[in-house]
């Protein structure tokens, strides 16, 4: 009888929230769906798409559109089926067997997940109490433990906190370890290292179309790195990892810079309003909302001793957010979604503080 190997018996799956809810503020997606003019173009594209043929293995048009948007040379860009796939490929193929990987806590849980699946040794360094990263301690940890890859998000999911460019450079320059810098939310902040990605031989920057670009359903991510790493990634990925439809739609949306800029302005404005509204509630209920962190992203991270109760009470009202022990992460939604959320929260806070 076949027995699962031990690592799979013990694997804790990543469990995204499933089911249908009226308001989804749990996954940091954009609340914009594509404008009708773009949808019409997509219909036309679908009619003409040669689906009996394999896609372009190097997604050249798509990578060119991405590179143009961010002012990069396309030769340093590799497309993935979501940046998730790229994290998987990097962890599986760019390191020796049993290599030591460093991640931080809190940070994106998929880093650890792939580290475990590919049987790497995963080291986790805790952040400070205020959730900022001690860069010097990170560097020291890399050196003391012969770490071969450091992977983290900047700005961070779930804390929403950003690390300044100079600190990230310091880490990259202090080590020969591979640094995987996940800039999934950098469209909402201004401390990107994209323009210098290819200047280092130990850096990979990841970007995604799942957040600002509003194409989470399409699955598109990018790795930007120097020539040696880029060659390796292209060789290691499965040949047709990004399908024809995703390539075409992604290229179209990424080429519309003014549309993306307007999306960024609206998403950020929504975040600012949500943050202000939550700060007002924190002033009213200081025992319930104990900390609201400054956000460099399109979501808000807050600490509360009633995280579980608030999460469950919102879910009963068909509003989902993310719950982390003593904290909550809330994606900034459309004005209507934010209003519904705050309305529900007011009732929930009044109930909780009356107990």
Ligand X SMILES: *Cc1c(COP(=O)(O)O)cnc(C)c1O
Kindly list the residues in this chain that would bind ligand X in the complex (CB under 6 A): 28, 82-84, 108, 153, 157, 182, 184, 208, 210-211, 216, 221
Min dist. Cβ of residue 223 to ligand X (A): 11
Min dist. Cβ of residue 89 to ligand X (A): 12
Min dist. Cβ of residue 151 to ligand X (A): 10
In this structure, what are the phi and psi dihedrals at residue 158, rounded to the nearest 5 degrees? -100, 0
Rounded to whole angstroms, what are the CA distances from 238 to 83, 232, 241, 247, 329? 14, 12, 5, 15, 34
- Of 78 and 157, which CB lies nearer to ligand X in the complex structure? 157
For 344-353, letters b (16+ CB in 10 Å) and e give bbeebbeebe
Mapping DSSP to helix (H, G, I), strand (E, B) and coil, where does residue 87 land?
helix
Enter the DSSP assignment of 34.
P
Min dist. Cβ of residue 114 to ligand X (A): 12
Selection from 210, 212, 215, 214 nearest residue 186 by Cα: 212
Question: How many contiguous H segments (helices) and E segments (strands) does the chain have?
Answer: 12, 13
Mapping DSSP to helix (H, G, I), strand (E, B) and coil, where does residue 285 land?
coil
Min dist. Cβ of residue 237 to ligand X (A): 14
- Of 217 and 335, which CB lies nearer to ligand X in the complex structure? 217
């Amino acid at each position: 009888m076949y027995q699962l190997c031990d690592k799979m018996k013990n694997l804790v799956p990543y469990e995204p929230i499933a089911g249908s809810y009226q308001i989804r503020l749990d996954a940091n997606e954009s609340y914009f769906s594509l404008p009708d003019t773009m949808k019409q173009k997509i219909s036309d594209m679908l009619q003409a798409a040669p689906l009996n043929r394999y896609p372009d293995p190097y997604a050249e048009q798509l990578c060119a559109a991405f590179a143009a948007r961010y002012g990069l040379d396309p030769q340093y860009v590799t497309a993935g089926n979501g940046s998730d796939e790229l994290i998987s490929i990097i962890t599986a193929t760019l390191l020796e067997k049993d290599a030591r990987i460093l991640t931080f806590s809190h940070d994106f849980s998929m880093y650890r997940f792939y580290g475990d699946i590919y049987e790497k040794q995963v080291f986790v360094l805790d952040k400070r109490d205020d959730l900022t990263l001690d860069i010097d301690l990170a560097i020291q940890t890399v050196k003391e433990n012969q770490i071969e890859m450091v992977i983290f998000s900047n700005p961070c999911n779930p804390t929403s906190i950003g690390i300044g460019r100079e600190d990230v450079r310091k880490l990259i320059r202090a080590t020969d370890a591979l640094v995987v810098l996940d800039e999934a939310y950098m469209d909402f902040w201004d401390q990107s290292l994209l323009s210098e990605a290819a200047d280092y031989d130990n850096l990979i920057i990841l970007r995604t179309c799942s957040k600002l670009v509003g194409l989470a359903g399409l699955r598109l991510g990018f790795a930007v790195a120097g020539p040696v790493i880029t060659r390796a990634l292209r060789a290691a990925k499965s040949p047709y990892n990004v399908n024809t439809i995703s390539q075409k739609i992604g290229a179209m949306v990424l080429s519309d810079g003014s549309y993306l800029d307007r999306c960024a302005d609206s998403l950020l404005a929504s975040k600012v309003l949500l943050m202000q509204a939550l700060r007002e509630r924190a002033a009213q209920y200081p025992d319930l909302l104990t900390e609201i962190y400054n956000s460099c992203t399109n979501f808000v991270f807050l600490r509360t001793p009633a995280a579980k109760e608030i999460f469950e009470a919102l879910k009963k009202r068909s509003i989902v957010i993310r719950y982390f022990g003593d904290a909550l992460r809330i994606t900034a939604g459309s004005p209507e979604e934010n209003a519904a959320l705050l309305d529900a929260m007011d009732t929930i806070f009044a109930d909780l503080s009356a107990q």
